[in-house]
Amino acid sequence: MAESTHEKILRVVRRIPRGRVATYGQVSKLAGFARQPRLAGYALRHADDTVPWQRVVNAAGRISPRADPDSIPRQRLILEAEGIQFSATGVVDLKRYQWRPRRR
């Protein structure tokens, strides 16, 4: 069985530790798909509860909007429960919270 694109993406997302976030672009790059941030978004859309999808935010440090408007406050609450703070404008400070993997 060849590993699918989505599986590679999800494998990376599962490495993001609690209390940290990664961007779509970062995830896709680590999975071997540089400059294809959409692939990370596509994969997360189909992700189940075995993957910490809430730890992926966009390059601006904001939660990416989806069909369900309630998904934003919902994701935010989970991240805050993990210790991540949001600015008054709803932005995560990537300088402070972005995941920096050691190797691979």
How many CB atoms are closer than 10 A to CB 102?
4
Query: Computed over its alpha carbons, how large is the radius of gyration of the chain?
Result: 13
Please, which residue, 71 or 86, has the CB nearer to DNA? 71
Interface residue with DNA among 12, 21, 31, 39 (CB under 7 A) is 39
Write down the least CB distance from residue 101 to DNA, Å: 16
The whole-angstrom separation of Cα 102 and Cα 4 is 24
Write down the least CB distance from residue 104 to DNA, Å: 20
DSSP string, 42-68: HHHHT--TTS-GGGEE-TTSSPPP-SS
Is residue 23 involved in binding DNA (CB under 7 A)? yes
Which residue ranges make up the site for DNA (CB under 7 A)?
A: 4-6, 23-25, 35-47, 53, 56, 58-60, 64-67, 71
